[in-house]
Amino acid sequence: MHEVKRVTILGATGTIGKQTLDVIARHPDKFSVFALTANASADVLFEQCRQYLPRYAVLLDESAAESLRQQLLAAGSQTQVLWGISALEFVSAHPEVDVVMAAIVGAAGLKPAMAAAHAGKRILLANKETLVMSGGLFMNAVEQGGASLLPIDSEHNAIFQVMPEARTRHLGESGIRRILLTASGGPFRNTSAMDLEKVTPRQALNHPNWVMGPKITIDSATLMNKGLEVIEAHWLFNAGPEQIEVVVHPQSVIHSMVEYVDGSVLAQLGNPDMRTPIAFALGYPERLESGVPSLDFFTIGKFDFEAPDMVKFPCLRLAFDSLRTGGTAPAILNAANEVAVAAFLNERIGFTDIPRMIESALEQSDIQPASSLDSVIEADRQARLLANAWMDKH
């Protein structure tokens, strides 16, 4: 009999968290929920606690945690409620936890993911910021802690699936020429540069293929999402910027490809549903039923490919530039982007102001080596101040 793996889900009330619970519910003989965490969504977390009976529930917000504690008490639940960043770290590094799904959006996901790495957990990484802000530090923590890292982003998960199992940290030694990251192109792929100036948050939130949270949906519309994925791919697969190419593939069926030195290109295909990479990472190396329907090639009919337009979508160029610059540049890019996306969603700036704000923050920042988590967090703080100052001037 195999033992049941205990799972902590960081960001349980978000899209990835809910889909992880959906996959876990299909395999009660293989997984149990140890802890569920959220930012402040106490009501959603309450329902999840009643259904999945975790030992711990964690909220970042203290008053939300108190309200959840009262609700669970009244319902006769045994789940203990904790709050704050240190509680997130506690449920990520707990000795009884086997798997940590790191799906908190933003810089808040950094410390718990690092705690899981130091504690040697299997980390299912869906939080981009961990690698974008502190890639070198995080990969070192994974190695030193003896953790295993499985990417959840559909693109990186696809690359992981089509790379040789016995790959080394050097792509060339594994016979790999380059990584081809596919991008849907977002909702404005065919929109003119002039019309992009007039884009509203409502239009930008209407992604053609994927159901995602608001932040990542806007990032897909600006192609910043793909830029952040380029930086992640660099750390996950030890690939230089010149070994990573972005290919726009509007159907989002090919989730990414790897080209080998002999000319072979291996691709991973599937319906655009995040339960596929989640099930792959939960079960690895075993394959699990995910609830995703079979791919119907006859309905798809054809695949299209085109080069990304980095003039119309400068966020992708800024990400490549930040990767080449190194140090705290990716952390600055990420922080300024978070401020810019929030400002756009609140209708304080226009769609095309997003890359302008980011570029301004990068130009004015003092880029340092990313030698410690403190230096990365300080770069993040400074970048937010610079981005907000840009907004106040415009």
State pLDDT tens for residues 39-73.
989 999 999 999 999 999 999 999 999 999 999 99
Contact 276, 253 (CB under 8 A): no
Contacts of 265 (CB under 8 A, 6+ apart): 180, 257, 258, 259
Question: How confident is the model over 389-393, as a mean pLDDT?
Answer: 93
* Across 69-73, 107-111, 174-178, least confident range: 107-111
The second-level CATH assignment, the architecture, of 326-394 is: Orthogonal Bundle (1.10)
- Is the pLDDT score of 166 beyond 80? no
The 10 Å Cβ neighbour count of residue 164 is 12
pLDDT, average across residues 195-208:
91
In this structure, the number of other CB atoms found within 10 A of the CB of residue 167 comes to 16
Does the pLDDT of residue 206 top 70, yes or no?
A: yes
Give the whole-angstrom CA distance, residue 313 versus residue 334: 16
DSSP for 253-314? -EEEEEEETTS-EEEEE--S-THHHHHHHHHTTS----SPPPP-HHHH-----B---TTT-H
The pTM score is 0.93
Strands (E), the chain: 5-10, 31-38, 56-59, 80-83, 99-102, 122-125, 148-151, 176-183, 244-248, 254-260, 265-269
Residue extents of the structural domains in the chain: 5-151, 153-273+294-314, 326-394
SS3 assignment, position 184: coil
Separation in Å, CA 194 to CA 188, 306, 380: 12, 21, 31
| Rounded alpha-carbon distances, angstroms, from residue 309 to 139, 233, 245, 295 | 31, 20, 13, 29
Assigned superfamily of 5-151: NAD(P)-binding Rossmann-like Domain (3.40.50.720)
Give the pLDDT confidence of 220-266 residue by residue, as tens digits. Answer: 999 999 999 999 999 999 999 999 999 999 999 999 999 999 999 99
Q: Is the pLDDT of residue 1 over 60?
A: no
CA distance linking residue 202 with residue 348, whole number of Å: 14
Look at phi and psi of residue 373 and say left if phi exceeds 0, alpha if psi is from -120 to 50, else beta: alpha
Radius of gyration from C-alpha coordinates of the chain: 21
- H or E stretch covering 354: helix 353-364
- Partners of 1 in the β-ladder: none
- Model pLDDT for residues 124-163, shown as the tens digit of each residue: 999 888 999 999 999 999 999 999 999 999 999 999 999 9
Mean pLDDT within 316-332: 98
Task: Give residue 170's pLDDT.
Answer: 83
Q: How confident is the model at residue 2 (pLDDT cuts 50, 70, 90)?
A: low
Q: What is the phi/psi pair of residue 30, to 5°? A: -110, -30
Say if CB 57 and CB 80 are below 8 A apart: yes
CB 246 within 8 A of CB 265: no
Is residue 184 within 8 Å of 252, Cβ to Cβ?
yes
The secondary structure of residue 251, as a DSSP letter, is: T
